[in-house]
Amino acid sequence: MKTTTIADAKNHLSNLIHQLENDEPVHLTRYGKPVAVMMSENQYQKLMKPQKSLHAAIQNWRSRLSCDEESAFNADELKTLRKESQGREFSWEE
């Protein structure tokens, strides 16, 4: 990601906008410390798009997987991945 000072960004705003249009975000710095990021409208819209829930993302991933794909787990593999544990001891009393 490109980095530039706020002063340079102000002096070269047109060139900076062209870089942003090519989906290249730019870090703006003040006294060498990052203070802001400029990005294209396209990148901004991607960030603002409502995110699916984790459950929806997993369901989407599962729907795209067929049972015979290498990345799919069979029942025996899942059993070895899951650790059966007794958990921890707990008491309501102190």
Q: Tell me the residue range of the domain where 38 lies.
A: 2-48
Residue 60 lies in a domain: no
- pLDDT, residue 8, reads 94
CATH number for the domain that contains residue 37: 3.40.1620.10
Of 37, 35, 30, the closest CA to residue 16 belongs to: 37
Residue 20 lies in a domain: yes
The pLDDT of 14-22, averaged and rounded, is 89
Based on the structure, what is the number of domains in the chain?
1
- pLDDT, residue 83, reads 64
30 pLDDT band (50/70/90 cuts)? very high
Instruction: Calculate the CA 19 to chain-centre distance.
Output: 22
Residue 30 one-letter amino acid? R
Mean pLDDT, all residues of the chain: 81
Residue 32 lies in a domain: yes
Residue 25 lies in a domain: yes
What is the Cα–Cα distance from 21 to 40, expressed in whole angstroms? 5
Residue 31 lies in a domain: yes
pLDDT digits (tens, 9 = 90+) for 45-76: 888 887 778 888 788 777 777 655 556 667 77
CB 49 within 8 A of CB 67: no
- pLDDT, residue 57, reads 77
